[in-house]
Copies of this chain bind each other. A is one copy, B any other.
Amino acid sequence: MARVARQTLIDDPRVTAFGILVEANARLERVMAKSLSEEVDIPLVYLEVLLRIARSPDRQVAMGELAAQISLTSGGVTRLVDRMTQADLVSRTTSSADRRVSYLGLTTLGGATLERALRVHLADLDEHFVSRLSTQELSSLVKILDKLRAP
């Protein structure tokens, strides 16, 4: 019957599974963002940017690469970096090899802010993420999610 078929479509376990992923992610991001905003006075995306820079070779990232890593468009990253530059957290330097690309680095304040933010973030992760899972569950989760991450 059509009605039964429609019901099945709506409650399809694949749809539900994806929904649970989205919900878990949204909830965690909300919690992390609130905490960072209150205790370090930066939005969550700032931490993501600072972290990507710190983890990059020579602690420098090209704008385009950063855009891909944090899932924003190039225009979005341009403005985001504008704000972070205004706040003296990052600084731009144009590449000497290819003057179209501009590299992003941490300022002194940016490095210090990253460290403060990471301590707050780790406490949040312990409270809302790690403590809810066993060691095995956490490693399974990472292993599985990693398969979903690559293009």
Contacts and interface: CB of A to CB of B under 8 A. Distances in A.
Tell me whether chain A's interface is mostly helix, strand or loop, or mixed.
helix
A15 B117 CA distance: 12
Interface string A120-146: 011001101110110001101110111
Contact of A17 (B32, B141, B148): B141
Given A10-B54, A19-B51, A27-B148, 14 more contacts: A9-B115, A12-B118, A14-B125, A14-B130, A15-B51, A16-B142, A17-B138, A20-B146, A20-B149, A21-B141, A22-B29, A24-B149, A132-B148, A133-B148
Nearest to A23: B149
Contact of A144 (B6, B9, B137): B137
Nearest to A145: B24
A121 B28 contact: no
A38 interface: no
A105 to B, nearest CB: 15
Contacts of A98: none
B122 A133 contact: no
A83 interface: no
Contacts of A128: 148
A86 interface: no
Contacts of A25: 21-22, 25
A57 to B, nearest CB: 13
